[in-house]
Structure 1
């Protein structure tokens, strides 16, 4: 048994750094073997996870010696934070380490959706030449609406403005006088104004009771005709069935989802076969570079927590 258990993939250099100081079990498939994970957790003082490992209920009960949960990412909806706090377990997200990766995914995907020319390889290779049908739109001069204006949204704004986009954001938790608005060249607006006027909407909010199904059928219907929606925040923020209906009806020009209500996405989802929809497997924040950064930050966080709470 080991001091540190890692149940999902992590950069090998960071794993080695942990193993230099503590006994480590690293098996990126443990998340899919819950009974074995429970056995390892019983002896562990730290658990390192991504978003699939559910750190709640039986797993937390098994980990009676736990003092730290390292999160290889930033979202915490797979961790019972309240229960951890009650037991004095430090929950340690890798804040800031994957901001660039998510921002690049968001802007790249908006470019692809508005241009609309990147799904025709088979047609072109087969001798079809659909130039007029694939005449898409430029992002220059368009308006990007950011729902949420935290660190990732600010990185997204910087890249969108470099392409000539005007950027607005809705975030009631960032004060009107916050210098970030001016520093990033972003206009603060209400959510209804943003939804009705943005050519592209990018979601950057956590999943809470207030944000669950924030983009439901009514809000999707209120979006500007021809607009696109991208979500690399949390799956529950978008009503997937309503989005499928809006795309099928041509109400939206396109959408991209990196996150889903249930992950992995199950066969028979209402999102299957929907036109003008890009689906990626919760990978927006994971690049070769961000994996190194996230893993290094998480390893350092966990080592510090273990040092501050010796066995």
Structure 2
């Protein structure tokens, strides 16, 4: 079978992919500086495509994919696929995302909660300036930091990221609840309860922290709007590692600016480098929102990096190898997220 790898990210991980594969593939590589006709010939004959994150961001892959007429598997190198349309690939083509980042993102979420409670940045800055304000012998209540023990973490979405997060939060003695797309017959391990969107009011009312870890789709877009923020505890903190628009942009800004909720840790945004809003001008380093989130002091901002580790990258390519092996063996890959619907071109 023939495999087309598109992008420098694929080239960087080619040796690891080959080491993980147990099936035979004829592998071709297209880099962004290569001629377009080379890429078109490569994908036109491919049974599977793995697209690198660099060619997705630059858009280079999208000029090639329409030439992929024999394609059986289109492999995304990360979790999100909200930008992918089934009509973009041939009818019946399996579109898969990758696993392996869930452990890293769970650590990021739990680290966010710990930093919010303990405030290492604040303690370090104060002590460097010569102050002993936060020492343990100080009887001033303002010198105390918090703890996550006994607090409630609500998970919006219950996929692999939330499962790993629940495991870690439980180890810190937290109560954990979740909202899933579909009902469960039993409560999964490490959860106190699990519900569906009908149970959102309970999650909003009970949670000290809410982590958004879901797909972005028509059901989840703007799931956290002004009405949702109004139902949260005033001391609640929201953590978004899903996609920015799961939280409605203006409503989130207002909830933070007006101290309707205590704060947020935001890793996923609304504007990205060279991906402006409609009518906007591409910028290499834009502000991530139409609103001045960067001026708020009750917000931790990070540049969409919750899964950005060597370990996560390696595990993702191991996941990709398993999907390719499954396809070669005639089995369904483990991470199918949609089927292509594009009719053959005549």
TM, length-normalised to structure 1: 0.81
Residues 277 and 87 from structure 1, CA distance in 2 versus in 1: closer, same or farther, beyond 3 angstroms? same
SS at match of 1:284: coil
Verify: 1:297 aligned to 2:301, yes or no: no
Verify: 1:43 aligned to 2:42, yes or no: yes
Residue matched to 2:286: 266
SS at match of 2:117: helix
CA contact (8 A) 1:5 1:40 kept: no
C-alpha deviation, 1:123, in angstroms: 4.9
Map Cα deviations across residues 164-201 of structure 1 (whole Å, 9 max, x no partner).
Answer: 111112225032x23xx153242135111111221000
Map Cα deviations across residues 118-165 of structure 1 (whole Å, 9 max, x no partner).
Answer: 256455434455536563321111111111222321221111111111
Residue matched to 2:263: 254
d(CA) in 2 for partners of 1:201, 1:87: 38
d(CA) in 2 for partners of 1:61, 1:124: 59
d(CA) in 1 for partners of 2:200, 2:105: 22
SS at match of 1:193: helix
1:118 to 121, 125, 133: 121
Residues 62 and 273 from structure 1, CA distance in 2 versus in 1: closer, same or farther, beyond 3 angstroms? farther
Map Cα deviations across residues 64-101 of structure 1 (whole Å, 9 max, x no partner).
Answer: 454321122222213223543x5232212224x22211
Please provide the CA RMSD for this pair: 3.2
CA contact (8 A) 1:256 1:278 kept: yes
2:98 to 83, 94, 98: 94
d(CA) in 1 for partners of 2:204, 2:254: 18
Gapped regions of structure 1 (runs ≥ 5): none
Gapped regions of structure 2 (runs ≥ 5): 135-139, 274-284, 331-346
Residues 188 and 304 from structure 1, CA distance in 2 versus in 1: closer, same or farther, beyond 3 angstroms? closer
Residue matched to 1:188: 194
Residue matched to 2:278: none
d(CA) in 1 for partners of 2:224, 2:129: 39
d(CA) in 1 for partners of 2:35, 2:268: 27
Which residues in structure 2 correspond to 1:3-152 (within 5 Å)? 3-7=3-7, 9-10=9-10, 11-17=13-19, 21-25=25-29, 27=31, 30=32, 40-44=39-43, 45=46, 46-49=48-51, 53=56, 58-84=63-89, 86-95=90-99, 97-119=100-122, 121-127=124-130, 131=134, 135-152=144-161
TM, length-normalised to structure 2: 0.74
C-alpha deviation, 1:247, in angstroms: 1.7
d(CA) in 1 for partners of 2:68, 2:160: 32
SS at match of 1:4: strand
CA contact (8 A) 2:178 2:191 kept: no
CA contact (8 A) 2:5 2:30 kept: yes
